[in-house]
Chains A and B, each alone.
Chain A
Amino acid sequence: MYRYDEFDSQLVRERAEQFRGQVARRLSGELTEDEFKPLRLMNGLYLQLHSYMLRIAIPYGTLSARQLRKLGDISRHYDRGYGHFTTRQNLQLHWAQLPRVPDALLELADVEMHCMQTSGNNVRNISADPFAGAAADEIEDPRILCEILRQWSTLHPEFSFLPRKFKICVIGTEEDRAALLIHDIAIKIVRNGAGEIGYRVYVGGGLGRTPYLAEEIGSFIEKRDILSFLEAIMRVYNEAGRRDNIWKARVKILVHQIGIEEMRRRVEAEFADIKKGATLELPAEELARIAAYFAPPAFAALPAESPEYEAQLREHRDFAQWAKTNVHAHKMPGYAIATISLKSIGKTPGDCSSEQMEALADIMDEFGQAEIRITHEQNMVLPHMRKADLYALWRKLVPLDLATPNHGLVTDIIACPGLDYCDLANARSIPVAQAIATRFCDLDRQHDLGELKIKISGCINACGHHHVGHIGILGVDRKGVENYQILLGGSGAEDASLGEILGPGFDQEGIVDAVENVIGTYTNLRQNGERFLDTYRRLGPQPFKERLYAR
């Protein structure tokens, strides 16, 4: 994985020391809260419901064992012994104390991590496919471009004060495991007719109050041009994006208002202008230097099937259940990708204790895993496991409560922190996720239901991606009482779509019954192995509505 060069190291250390000075000036009264707030936000420090929240960037969701161990240590010593992995592949600590944050930032710098650009109107942490470098149909590891974009966008003087926050995602496969099209800029690595690798670029995706899926703006951007092309998009947005209304400031609103054709015309004009200067062409040697950091590990020459693994699947039913959902095909024979679920039944989705982080770091060392990935679905992934090691891995995960066999099933629920932690939330998300997971905990029933993605947000800002859940749940405040609306038919995968609100909402108890009702309608009406989403798309909302709101 990428290692900081001297400039990266110096930058994050200087930034931590700069923040120490800013905190000292705030505590001495030299800086007012109004002056200090934008400075702390630039370092990912929010004031939340109970305390400060520190949001730590995990570039493209990749961590080394050393970094994960350090996160475990930091969450113990600077927080309350746990962290929360988010849909942005970041980690949030919900109990930070202002005077100690500079020390935490320096400890993060020790392992090449930081909190810069996890807040504010700039280019945020860039996300990627958690199966990067391991997926069988991958054209190229998307993290190479992510890292280039990270370096390009970090403290970029022109793009540090955008109209609003800006999220970029890159994938290198047809299958979308990163919710590509809900990003402001979405990049898919593709081949053209001549077999050359380039980028298909989409713009204007985003959820929140006004959800849109990104639309294609460049069908094949040559590799050397990608920074110029993205700069062209950013310039058009920076100039024309609204700054007078926070709810209309994202690039999705601009694209919607002027239309994708006009957006394309403006971007192409800007792109042509930038190209005249020829200043932003990516040098091949720099590309090769960064790509080398993402070279695949030295895979052993293994047979495709592992008799040992096959025997263990036959002998251990619980292991086989886990493997059925949490083990995925790898590009190399004899290897597999393992998903570690952070969705233990009845627990908080995405939460991971200090002990779990440290134990996982030890497991990574033991099984020779240089990297672990954080997924936007709030799980973790070990990308390069030998099939023959999977049983031993599973046995290590079980006592850590990290072997829940539910990836992609109804209990693998995305939930934002909601009103239990978040200052913006209107309703709690976590207890709803816990109650639904508990209701559907029977594993046979989960397998019978098949792939079913429930996503819960505690407010319209949609950190829980409710618009792209097969079943989405949006918590709202109705006269001071939590109320939950149901959306159906969304998808954050390669068949992306936005869900539609079904009808009036439910209280916290009623929402679990409502989900059961919706799922019951699906099981009654499904045909020939249809997923929930397939049945909904075939029939539309009416049968679900009729049964849910029947008097």
Chain B
Amino acid sequence: MPHPLQVLTANRLQPGEVVYWNGSTGWVPRLADAQVFSGVEAEAALKAAAEWVRKGEVVAPYLFDVGMHQETIVPVKVREAIRAAGPSVRRDLGKQARNVSL
């Protein structure tokens, strides 16, 4: 069975904002800019995130499953879609309100 595609996410310590890991630019606010991992790479990235937690950059890092749809990252679970956008009942709040391309 192939390894699932995964993205590493966390919340910034100070504002609590949802962020994603991008190997080249660090923690980024847009899911679209996240690095997509597979298998052992993902576990290694999660392990490495401990250092960012130690430095006080982010808290509560974890991996979640995604799919790729026409080169767009699509979370498997609705929970991560809501985290990436903002409350579905308040389109004026969260990342969706800032016209962040998700």
Q: Are B79 and A96 in contact (CB under 8 A)?
A: no
User: When chains A and B are docked, how far (Å) is the Cα of A99 from the Cα of B13?
Assistant: 9
Q: Does B18 make an interface contact (CB < 8 A)?
A: yes
- Tell whether, in the assembled complex, residue A49 and residue B15 are in contact, meaning their CB atoms are under 8 Å apart: no
Q: Which of B13, B83, B89, B94 is packed against the most chain A CB atoms within 10 Å?
A: B89
Residue picked from B13, B16, B17, B56, most chain A C-beta under 10 Å: B16
Rounded to whole Å, the gap between the CB of B97 and the closest CB of chain A is 9
Contacts of B76 in A (CB 8 A): 480
Complex Cα spacing A149 to B54, Å: 40
* B-side contacts of A428, CB under 8 Å: 78, 82, 88-89
Cβ B11 vs Cβ A47 within 8 A: yes
Q: Which of A52, A419, A427 counts the most B-chain CB atoms under 10 A from its CB?
A: A419
Q: A29-B55, A477-B77, A481-B78 are in contact. Are A420 and B87 (CB under 8 A)?
A: yes
A26: Cβ under 8 A from any B Cβ: yes
The closest CB in chain A to the CB of B85 belongs to: A50
Indicate if the CB atoms of B16 and A99 lie closer than 8 Å: no
> How many residues of chain B have a CB within 8 Å of chain A?
26
Q: Which residues B68-89 have CB closer than 8 A to chain A? A: 76-79, 82-83, 86-89
Interface residue ranges, B against A (CB under 8 Å):
11, 13-18, 53-56, 59-60, 76-79, 82-83, 86-90, 93-94
Q: Is the CB of A50 within 8 A of B77?
A: no
Do B14 and A97 touch (CB < 8 A)? yes
> A425-B79, A430-B89 given. 17 additional CB < 8 A pairs?
A27-B14, A28-B56, A29-B55, A33-B60, A48-B16, A49-B82, A49-B83, A51-B11, A99-B14, A419-B82, A420-B82, A420-B90, A431-B88, A431-B89, A434-B89, A477-B77, A480-B76
Q: Is the C-beta of A224 less than 8 angstroms from some C-beta in chain B? A: no
Q: When the two chains form their complex, are residues B13 and A98 in contact, meaning their CB atoms are under 8 A apart?
A: yes
**Which residue of chain B is the closest to A430 with respect to CB atoms?**
B89
Chain B residues within an 8 Å CB radius of A32: 54
Q: A419: which B residues are within 8 A, CB to CB?
A: 78-79, 82
List 6 A-B pairs, minimum CB-CB distance, nearest first. Answer: A51-B16, A420-B87, A52-B16, A480-B77, A430-B89, A97-B15
Bound complex: CA A367 to CA B93 (Å): 35
Please report the total number of A residues contacting B with Cβ < 8 Å: 33
Cβ contacts under 8 Å, B93 to chain A: 50, 80, 95
Interface contact A421-B87, CB-CB below 8 Å: yes
Which label, helix, strand, loop or mixed, suits the secondary structure of the B interface?
loop
Contacts of B55 in A (CB 8 A): 29
Q: Smallest CB-CB separation from A348: which chain B residue?
A: B89
Question: What are 12 of the A-B contact pairs (CB < 8 Å)?
Answer: A27-B14, A28-B56, A29-B55, A33-B53, A47-B11, A49-B82, A96-B16, A427-B78, A428-B88, A431-B89, A434-B89, A481-B78
* A482 CB-CB contact with B under 8 Å: yes
Cα separation A536 to B62 with both chains bound (whole Å):
45
Complex contact A482–B78 (CB within 8 A):
yes
B79–chain A nearest beta-carbon distance, Å: 6
Q: CB-CB < 8 A to B53: which residues of A? A: 33
Q: What is the chain B residue whose CB lies nearest that of A28?
A: B56
Chain B residue with the shortest CB-CB distance to A508: B78
Q: Nearest residue in A to B97 (C-beta to C-beta)?
A: A80
B contact residues around A96 at 8 Å (CB): 16
By CB atoms of chain A within 10 A, which of B18, B53, B87 has the most?
B87
Residues of B within 8 A of A425 (CB): 79
Do B14 and A50 touch across chains, with their CB atoms under 8 A apart? Answer: no
Given contacts A50-B83, A98-B13, contact A420 B59 (CB under 8 A): no
Interface residues of A in 61-98 (CB under 8 A from B): 80, 95-98
**Do residues B15 and A51 form an inter-chain contact, with CB atoms below 8 A?**
yes
Report the separation of the CA atoms of residues A172 and B54 in the bound assembly, to the nearest whole angstrom.
52
Identity of the chain A residue whose Cβ is nearest the Cβ of B86 in the assembled complex = A50
- What is the minimal beta-carbon distance from B74 to any residue of chain A, in angstroms? 12
Q: Is the CB of A98 within 8 A of B15?
A: yes
Q: How far is the CA of A523 from the CA of B14 in the complex (A)?
A: 53
Q: Return chain A residues, CB-CB under 8 Å to B86.
A: 50
A98 to B17 CA separation, bound complex (whole angstroms): 11
A479: min CB distance to chain B, Å: 9
Q: Which residue of B lies closest to A97 (CB)?
A: B15
Cα of A426 to Cα of B82 in the assembled complex, Å: 12
Q: Which residue of B lies closest to A37 (CB)?
A: B59
Q: Is the CB of B14 within 8 A of A51?
A: no
Smallest distance from the beta carbon of A347 to chain B beta carbons, Å? 9
Please tell me if the beta carbons of B59 and A47 are within 8 angstroms of each other in the complex: yes
User: A420-475: which have CB < 8 Å to B?
Assistant: 420-421, 425-428, 430-431, 434
Task: Report A-chain residues with C-beta under 8 Å of the C-beta of B15.
Answer: 51, 97-98
Alpha-carbon separation in the docked complex, A209 to B47 (Å): 33
Check A420–B89 contact: CB distance below 8 A: yes
Bound-state Cα–Cα, A480 to B74, Å:
13
Which residues on the B side are within 8 Å of A481 (C-beta)?
78
Least Cβ distance of B62 to chain A in Å? 11
Question: When chains A and B are docked, how far (Å) is the Cα of A419 from the Cα of B87?
Answer: 8
Question: Which of these, A26, A98, A477, A482, contacts B16 with CB under 8 Å?
Answer: A98
Chain B residues in 8 Å Cβ range of A97: 14-16
Contacts of B14 in A (CB 8 A): 27, 97-99
Question: Could you tell me the distance between the alpha carbons of A97 and B13 in the complex, rounded to whole angstroms?
Answer: 9
Distance of A398 Cα from B43 Cα, bound (Å)? 55
- Residues of chain B within 8 A (CB-CB) of A80 are 93
